Amino acid sequence: MFCFQCEQAAQGTGCTKMGVCGKNPEVAALQNLIVWGLMGMAFWAHKAREKGAIDRDIDVHMIEGLFTTVTNVDFDPENCAAVAKKTVQMRDKAWALFEKANNGPYTGEVPDAAANWICPANREEMATLGRERGVKSFNSDADINSVQNILLYGCKGMAAYADHAHILGKDDNEIYAFIHKALAAIAESKLGLMDFVTLCMECGQTNIKCMGLLNQAHIENYQAPTPTPVNIGTKAGKAILVSGHDLKMLEELLKQTEGKGINIYTHVEMLPAHGYPGLKKYKHLVGNFGGAWQNQYQEFQNFPGAIIFNTNCIQRPADEYKDRLFTWGRVQWPGVKHVEGWDFSEVIAAAQKAEGFSEKADKDILTGCGHDAVLGLADKVIEAVNSGAIKRFFVIGGCDGAKPGRNYYTKFAEQLPKDTVILTLACGKYRFNKLDLGDIGGIPRLLDVGQCNDAYSAVQIALALAKAFDCEVNDLPLSIILSWYEQKAVVVLLSLLSLGLQNMKLGPSLPAFVTPNVLNFLVENFNIAPIGTVEEDMKQMLG
């Protein structure tokens, strides 16, 4: 196997024997096959779209297929094989769609991925085929291959956000069209390096639309989030823990558990759910449990109820909780019960059977500080900046992970002077969101903007501040320090780069799929740099 799509890539170069995440060689090969098939499907879907022919099933299969291959989503070979098979059927559907719109067959050159290759009938042969279709084989030029992978990972991250929006009934033709165009370009591999760089920037721009669409879907369904304290203790009673990013799944579970004496807790990226009026109205949504995703193996052993993942990040479960663990949506783990659709009665039954919590008091942490809430304080914020009470804003956001170097983010938040404000989002916040950082004239020093997709909201805050101070975003007293782990962080980074943001710091280590030449390009054009020591970086940013 070879996979280097996430920050955990073995030796900083790529997983070759077994994924550090737990992905085995068979699943890795089947996911290669899915991506290869999607590239073929994209070729025909893109050509059909150019002729005005669109098929929503193909569009949706694209985002579901890509999301299946995101880090820590699907570890089940049976399901990956089923997705690969369906992909080949959908390629044929896209092909037929094109020929119908074209009133005849295509006469140009067809790339290998889009040719009439047959999906083998059994899993073993599918995996053999997938092994030959790895990410290193897109292009023989290492730099072009690197940028093609950045584009692919950007599309994977965006597909996850598009999937959430689709589940809430929001689809945007432009988003689907771009993903098809991008994967078709990788399949054809005819463009030059700078063309792929341009596509990466377009990917970032399209993802801003996609995150905006999801933001709109969340607000239309659950109203704009408001600053909300969330308890991290436990309430006496039966319990269900919800992990992932999907708010609709949480809402359905809240409806189905109402009045049943079961308390619902959020985990990791579900924490911001507490800020939405349409979700916090459920009194049995009682708190947040545990730290970031990489601690689940230990922490879930202490959760005496049912646990459900609706998106990444799932890890190999311990036997102590495997029979109380469920997956939903794109997430699958072999041997773990998968809930299809919207009936959570099995999860509820597992929670009722489990011991449940006794009462344990603990502190509150704050969430729900999206752009509506923060910009509601705009006058206060502007006054605090003008008076010098706030010297600088720091966006410290992105993913958490297992590497020891991630203590950087905790130390950074702890050591920042008291006249600075932190905006945070995604699961990297668990490195510091239980610290008591106080406030500046009533403005909390730590503002939790939300999930990784709420990078949209952070961008809105930055744009509004730039407008208020009549300057460019790069001239604001604002520094951005990102932590990355998986492909959603890649697409968020592309979005920030596409807005022209300069001087960002990235850690805890640089992606294995970025070649030295591509890195140089990023440094020269965006002055992006890897994190260094807390002291030096802080001195530089505050200076």
Residues that bind ligand SF4 (CB under 6 A): 3-6, 8-9, 15, 19-21, 23, 71
Can residue 488 be called a binding residue for ligand FS2 (CB under 6 A)? yes
Interface residue with ligand FS2, options 313, 348, 384, 390 (CB under 6 A) = 313
Can residue 268 be called a binding residue for ligand FS2 (CB under 6 A)? yes
Tell whether 427 is in a known binding site.
yes
**Whether 426 contacts 397, CB under 8 Å:** yes
Give the binding range for ligand FS2 (CB under 6 A) out of 77-85, 206-214, 386-394, 482-490: 482-490
SS (H, E, C) 468-499: HCCCCHHHCCEEEEEECCCHHHHHHHHHHHHC
Angle at 171 between CA 166 and CA 175, to 5 degrees: 110
Judged by CB under 6 A, the chain residues 421 through 440 that form the site for ligand FS2 are 426-427
Angle, helices 455-468 vs 378-386, to 10°: value is 60
Name the closest residue to ligand SF4 (Cβ).
Answer: 19
User: Which tokens hold the place of 460?
Assistant: 């809105």
Can residue 242 be called a binding residue for ligand FS2 (CB under 6 A)? no
Going by the DSSP 8-state scheme, the letter that residue 330 receives in this structure is T
Picking from 493, 432, 431, the residue whose alpha carbon sits closest to that of residue 459 is 493
Tell me the C-alpha distance between 401 and 384, whole Å: 34
Positive or negative, the CA dihedral 297, 299, 302, 303 is negative
Smallest distance from the beta carbon of 6 to ligand SF4, in angstroms? 3
Q: In what side-by-side order are the strands of the sheet with 392-398?
A: 446-450, 420-425, 392-398, 478-483, 505-507, 529-530
Tell me the C-alpha distance between 400 and 290, whole Å: 13
Tell whether 119 is in a known binding site.
no
Q: Where are the beta strands (DSSP E) in 237-385?
A: 238-243, 262-267, 285-288, 306-309, 325-328, 337-339, 364-367
Give the binding range for ligand FS2 (CB under 6 A) out of 13-21, 258-266, 415-423, 483-491: 483-491
Tell me the C-alpha distance between 305 and 325, whole Å: 9
Q: Based on CB atoms, which residue is closest to ligand FS2, 305 or 398?
A: 398
Three-class secondary structure of residue 501 per DSSP = coil
Judged by CB under 6 A, the chain residues 362 through 401 that form the site for ligand FS2 are 399
Q: Based on CB atoms, which residue is closest to ligand SF4, 156 or 505?
A: 156
Tell whether 200 is in a known binding site.
no
Tell whether 78 is in a known binding site.
no
Three-class secondary structure of residue 120 per DSSP = coil
Judged by CB under 6 A, the chain residues 288 through 307 that form the site for ligand FS2 are 293
Tell me the C-alpha distance between 487 and 11, whole Å: 19
Tell whether 284 is in a known binding site.
no
Residue 74 CA, distance from chain mean position: 14
Going by the DSSP 8-state scheme, the letter that residue 231 receives in this structure is E
Tell whether 3 is in a known binding site.
yes
Can residue 315 be called a binding residue for ligand FS2 (CB under 6 A)? no
Smallest distance from the beta carbon of 484 to ligand FS2, in angstroms? 9
Smallest distance from the beta carbon of 136 to ligand SF4, in angstroms? 13
Q: Based on CB atoms, which residue is closest to ligand SF4, 23 or 429?
A: 23
**Whether 176 contacts 62, CB under 8 Å:** yes
Can residue 486 be called a binding residue for ligand FS2 (CB under 6 A)? yes
Tell whether 369 is in a known binding site.
no
Q: Based on CB atoms, which residue is closest to ligand SF4, 31 or 457?
A: 31
Interface residue with ligand FS2, options 64, 188, 269, 454 (CB under 6 A) = 269
Give the binding range for ligand FS2 (CB under 6 A) out of 27-35, 205-213, 221-229, 480-488: 480-488
x-or-dash string of contact with ligand FS2, 446-475, rule CB under 6 A: -----xx-----------------------
Tell whether 486 is in a known binding site.
yes
Q: Which residue has the tokens 């923060």?
A: 374
Known binding-site residues for [4Fe-4S] cluster equal 3, 6, 15, 21
Known binding-site residues for hybrid [4Fe-2O-2S] cluster equal 245, 269, 313, 399, 427, 452, 486, 488
Known binding-site residues equal 3, 6, 15, 21, 245, 269, 313, 399, 427, 452, 486, 488
Positions touching ligand FS2 (CB under 6 A) are 268-269, 293, 312-313, 399, 426-427, 451-452, 485-486, 488
